[in-house]
Amino acid sequence: MSEREKKFTYILVALAVVAIIIVILVNVPLGGDKARIRREFGNLEKEHVFETITYDEVFEKINSGETFQLFVGSSFTVNDKSFAYEADKLAKEYNLETIYYLRLYELTETQITDLKVETSSYVVFPSLFLFELDEDTNKSVAYNISGLKDLKDFGNNWQLLLTQYFEECYN
């Protein structure tokens, strides 16, 4: 191999390494999951309660009978951003450490339908679900669902709707 070919090979390898590093940096959120969610919503405090969960992980928790709070929504609308902000604030007031966040825009129509079948076909999004163990089935059931409440009944105020939801869940 000539000296010229060696230099060309080294340049190609260096470019490939730089390209790989760029791809990794673009696809790995800086600061982890919490920072990604905070950037996504833009109005959450640094120490918020949300943690990303996948569709499959939600159903694993349901089938294992876990008690957990689930937020299904997105960051694409002001409505959802306000919802997430108020949910985070109230969760902290109730000393809730984690609300799992399932991104609505990542779900297929079949997955949305499955989620509605598991909870309520009348649910609208964004929504919070409190899943609790049902002793008869040994599965988690969502007895409290914020998305069954009509926002208009609360003067289009997420704080009022979610305050009632959290009171029903934890009082």
Alpha helices in the chain (DSSP H): 3-27, 32-41, 55-63, 78-93, 109-118, 158-170
Give the burial class of 73: count Cβ atoms within 10 A of its Cβ; 0-12 exposed, 13-18 middle, 19 or more buried. buried
Q: Which of 5-9, 43-47, 90-94, 101-105 has the lowest mean pLDDT?
A: 5-9
Q: Is the dihedral of CA 63, 127, 68, 162 positive or negative?
A: negative
DSSP state of 49: S
Predicted confidence at residue 15, as pLDDT, reads 87
Amino acid at 115: L
Q: Which of 10-14, 114-118, 121-125, 134-138 has the lowest mean pLDDT?
A: 10-14
C-alpha–C-alpha distance, residues 83 and 74, integer Å: 10
Q: Is the dihedral of CA 70, 75, 76, 78 positive or negative?
A: positive
Predicted confidence at residue 89, as pLDDT, reads 97
Q: Is the pLDDT of residue 28 over 60?
A: no
Mean pLDDT of 38-56: 93
C-alpha–C-alpha distance, residues 108 and 126, integer Å: 16
Tens-digit pLDDT profile for residues 136-162: 999 999 999 999 999 999 999 999 999
